[in-house]
Amino acid sequence: MKLEDILCGMDYEITSGSDGVDINEIQYDSRKVKSGDVFICIKGYKTDGHNYIDNAFKNGASVIIYSESIESLPECTTIKVEDGRKTLAKASSNYYGNPSSRMKIIGITGTNGKTTSTFMIKSILESAGYKVGLVGTIANYIGNKKLHSERTTPESLELQRLFKEMVDEKVEYCVMEASSHSLYLNRVYSVEFCEAIFTNLTRDHLDFHKTFENYYQAKLILFKNTLNSIINIDDKYGARVYKDAIGNKVTYAIEKPADVKADNINMHSRGVEFDVTYKSEKKHINLNIPGKYNVLNALGSIGACINEGIKLDVVKSGLEKLKAVPGRCELVTDGYNLGYEVIVDYAHTPDGLENILKSVREFTNGKLIAVFGCGGDRDNTKRPIMGKIGTDLSDFAVITSDNPRTEDPMEIIDEVVSGIEKQDYIVIENRREAIKKAMEIAKEGDVIVIAGKGHEDYQILKDRTIHFDEREIVADIIKQLAIGN
């Protein structure tokens, strides 16, 4: 492929060589460069691609694309651009034949609810007869084929490659999580969205964005580049998004008047039922996923699909076919006769923890027991906040380790405990033992919520990553307790 074709639609300066050269592949990691590749310098979290230009050239790069002032460049074609990340995104799209323009893409952003919403929309679209791709935190999907996911939203090169695979396999819709990181870092730059959903905005990722306003502005990027916005106006930032977004806007809510509205909500441990109203049409929905906040996730999904011309009968069928979303208010004791329930949830933010505990409280007949901690190498200011929320909203809490990463687990726990004002809690650093303790003390009618890791099947420690699947652990503890160990 010609370099000029890859750079089509972009402004650039040829500082050496010619844009008429043939190139092999695009790379932004110098270690992956092979003969004839183009190396695009981008700034990462901890390093800068400009520092690896010589390595890329030694590995065979025939083209270097850069954006910073460089004293000495290798003897090959060199191109200067204004923004390396935007160049990587657009060049990747061009290289793979602009695949996002050959599918309809629905993007979802917000602090919480993105993953559940993607699964809901995928189920609805499949019920309408479409082949659907999914890009998200748990995994990526091409139809029913599951692919490993490294991060919520891949880097633009990998994202465009995935889109190309979807197009090759006749995918008609792709529904994807658009994280604040991906929006700010231009991973989804040049992606054409047909619908954009705003779920909510609460405290998270301030270790990266530094201020809440920066976090909001990162999320807003999606709504300044999409003509159809679906907005949760029950969230306090929804009104601001509504004002700042462009194009057609559809609102959804439980509490406030909205275009897509839910009422007559009835929650239980196996799911939630509600009536949805859109214009003059009303349907009764029976979700298999518990939690009032999942009603909001369903409403946003309904709004996007209605916008795409899908009838409410089909929407209802698609939502009711979805049995569960891994690690999202997931009941892991289904099939066991314990007398109490255990729910695993990914809630790892103050708002996420508050949502899951308040929702579960509404169908808990006995005591609500919370097991949670906070991850290491992340925003530490939320730790005491989560400590207070977790203990205030539960009857008993077990404070434990999450993914400590490079930090000392007990130092993280101490910061969580510093926000606690009640006495109804204990500290057990070992997460498996913490879960076991909660199950030992649970009685008839109680519900245990294990929060923080959800779908994850690993735990990240200082020196290694270990296998840690809470569904497996709960099942194993049930067997142990049954024999009296």
Binding site, annotated residues: 30, 110-116, 152-153, 179, 187, 378, 402-405, 452, 456
| Residue 275, C-beta contacts closer than 8 angstroms, at least 6 positions apart | 262, 263, 264, 282, 283, 284, 285
Q: Where are the alpha helices (DSSP H) in 69-205?
A: 84-95, 114-127, 156-168, 180-184
Between the CA of residue 52 and those of 39, 57, 141, 164, what are the distances in Å? Answer: 10, 9, 33, 28
Give me the torsion for CA of 115, 121, 127, 132, rounded to 10°.
-80
Q: Give first-to-last CA distance, the chain, whole Å.
A: 65
The dihedral built from the CA positions of residue 73, 154, 182 and 170, taken in this order, carries a sign that is: positive
Strands, E assignment, 329-431: 330-331, 341-345, 368-372, 396-399, 425-427
The three-state secondary structure class of 426 is strand
* Nearest Cα to Cα of residue 63 among 86, 88, 43, 82: 88
Tokens of 159: 């994202």
Q: List C-alpha distances in Å: 8 to 135, 172, 251, 253, 418.
A: 26, 25, 37, 43, 55
Contact 340, 304 (CB under 8 A): no
Q: Do the beta carbons of residue 240 and residue 228 sit within 8 Å? A: no
Phi, psi (degrees; rounded to nearest 5) at 110: 150, 170
How many Cβ atoms sit within 10 Å of the Cβ of residue 281? 11
10 Å CB burial of residue 54 (0-12, 13-18, 19+) is: middle
Binding residues for ATP: 110-116
Spatial CB neighbours of 63, under 8 Å, sequence gap ≥ 6: 3, 17, 21, 23, 37, 38, 39, 76, 77, 78, 79
Q: DSSP code of 348?
A: -
Structure tokens at 228: 């159809």
Q: Binding site for meso-2,6-diaminopimelate: which residues? A: 378, 402-405, 452, 456
Q: What per-residue string of b and e applies to 436-466 under the rule 16 or more CB within 10 Å gives b? A: bbbbeebeeebbbbbbbbbbbeebbbeeeee
How many CA atoms does the CB half-sphere of 61 hold within 13 Å? 30
Establish how many alpha carbons lie within 13 A of residue 143's alpha carbon, considering only the half-sphere containing its beta carbon: 12
Contact assessment for residue 459 and residue 468, using Cβ atoms and an 8 Å cutoff: yes
- The answer to whether 70 and 58 are in contact (CB under 8 A) is no
